[in-house]
Amino acid sequence: MTNNAGTWTQTVGSLANGTVLEYWFTYEKSGPQYDTPHFTYTQGGGGTGTVATPTFTPAAGTYASAQSVTLADATAGASIRYTRDGSTPTAASTLYSGPISVTATTTIKAIAIKSGLADSAVASATYTIGASASCPAQSDTPNFGPNVHIYDPSMSSATIQAQLDAQFAQMKDTASAQFSENRVAQLFKPGTYAVDDNVGYYTSVAGLGQNPGDVTINGHVTVDAFNASDAGNATQNFWRSAENLAINPVGGNRWAVAQAAPFRRIDVRGDLQLYPASYGWASGGYIADTKVSGQAASISQQQWYTRDSNLGSWAGGVWNMVFSGTVGAPANTFPNPPETTLATTPVSRDVPYLYVDGAGKYRVFLPSLRTSASGASWANGSTPGTSQPMSQFYVVKAGDTAATINNALSQGCNLFVTPGVYHLNQTLNITRPNTVVLGIGYPTFVPDNGVNAIQVADVDGVRLKGLLIDAGTTNSAALLTVGPSGSSASHAGNPTTVQDVFFRIGGQIAGKATTSLIVNSNNVIVDHIWAWRADHGKAGSFGWTTNTADTGVIVNGSSVLATGLFVEHYQKHEVVWNGQNGKTIFFQNEMPYDVPNQGAWMSAAGVNGYAAYKVGAGVTTHEAWGLGSYCYFNVNPAVNSYHAFEVPNTPGVKFHNALTVSLGGVGTITHVINDTGAVTASNTTPSNVVAYP
């Protein structure tokens, strides 16, 4: 658009009479961003308005199974009439009142009608059911776009180092880079490199070998309290990752991070330091499928989760250190020291990852499902699994829209999502079993106009990895839904996995979403998520009535496992678990900071606040290990939560090693779980419950 003396204009030419334009825009006012309503204009229409053309969800395409098709229209108050026989709809056609079940190949046509306006154009969508969609062949050596930097061992160390340093300079500063739209991936082809890679915001570092030892860094891959504004603390070192390489570090490798910063498939040939060089606070992180030959030391890390790994030894622990399937983990000694250790992880499946084969072609490796896992998947050789060529992946990059992405999905393609920010004006629908959606460099989906960002059908084996979903300024009911309501199929042999998928409400923009993640399917593995309602960010993007969000995670499916559940600052229950036979290993939570007064935060008459983790009243089997919930009611320190964990009193619901903390004594939590556990102390020491009941 062009600014002409304060009036913004956009000229569209060469329109034939009768052409209908639908338009809208996003504007910024004093920091927050806002979406306008949708408007329409008819060329040659003599000033008469026209109803917007209806839209279809999911998009037209070829599907292996029946679909539930939703129609919508952007014109407020418009009704939709539709046909299923290919005929042109009229005002006398069937009135749309709810989702349309499409069980066989069908063409749906629809118009939208509103008194006083011209009828919309006819929209048409054909759904081919029962055929196997086949992805049109993509390149095996694709163009990944300008935000993906690929390094080859033939390049000089000085050249690589200069590029890494330049990218870090752009992504380093907590004040300026934390809520920028910069995104970057640094990929190293197999070989040996002598570099030191400092990792800033929204940066993914990964090796392109099939196993970690195929890429060796003689140097460091470092996160620290880099900036003077950090005051020596690493509590805001979010949104960065390292994966699938070996490090020979002189003096140890430092990875001082907070949330949303996974450290996966790394061979650390020496010590691993999880705290800043200043020994300042860091607020929690995640390791998986990793070997550390020396000592892994948490020191000032407040909480940490390590899964399916091998450690030479472990040192340190503040409140909540949790291990499952980790060889060399400390003994289960909670609360003193505060270590929670499970010998194995019940079910796990390591993340899909990109690699280069011997012919120089790119492929995505898909690790196999593990049960009762212990140690890194590659500890005794290559990770078991299969791989797919990039010819079966549509590469999402700048210029792609929800329509182009949905079209690729409907054609049977997997998605490889490159670093960038992608606005969605329609829901991304994943309907094919075994679909892979793999992101690198923190690609960010922003749902506009109140749509839900991603919906996954109740099918086997979908893998979602490496995404950030940032709520838009118009409220979405949910950002990610796995399975429709009432899903009942078993997926025990081939579950859907949600891994390194992060949710943000506010901070960047004044986002709103009722719930971030809803899991309706059975047997889903939720492996390392951070659902965050922002407590800080750009001016105007956060506040009790600004970035509104009820609940981070709702689980309705049965036999769902969460390994590494980080959920913070939502305005009601942070997690609601209604499904039977659920399990959680590691839960980290901070209650909302910004509660204005007690009356605004009551879960029931006479019950102060909302439990952070609520197990539904009808649940008879549930088990959880290593849980921490903290309060810091800095807007009104008189605010109280009656308890952090609310569960049915039944023998099949068991909690192990749960704690509460009042940070600086700012506010109180009366009990840990139900009526059990002491009120939080004023000196930031935890109240612990070792077992419940």
Residues acting as catalytic residues: 590
Amino acid present at 509: I
Find, among 607, 619, 617, the residue nearest to 644 by Cα. 607
Which H helix or E strand runs over 410? helix 402-410
Q: Which residues pair with 417 in a beta bridge?
A: 396, 439
Find, among 134, 150, 58, 136, the residue nearest to 418 by Cα. 150
* Residue 132: Cβ within 10 Å count: 9
Residue 133 to residues 388, 409, 421, 433, 578, Cα–Cα distance (Å): 16, 9, 28, 11, 35
Find, among 669, 670, 644, 667, the residue nearest to 655 by Cα. 644
SS3 track for 626-662: EEEEEECCCCCCCCEEEEEEECCCCCCEEEEEEEEEE
Residue 320 to residues 227, 279, 527, 552, 659, Cα–Cα distance (Å): 27, 18, 18, 21, 8
Find, among 646, 649, 533, 642, the residue nearest to 594 by Cα. 533
* Residue 626: Cβ within 10 Å count: 29
Round to whole Å and give the CA distance between 650 and 616: 12
Sorted by sequence, the CB contacts under 8 Å of residue 294 that are 6+ apart come out as 252, 268, 270, 271, 272, 312, 313
* Residue 172: Cβ within 10 Å count: 17
Q: Which residues pair with 17 in a beta bridge?
A: none
Residue 273 to residues 315, 336, 398, 553, Cα–Cα distance (Å): 10, 21, 36, 31
Amino acid present at 624: A
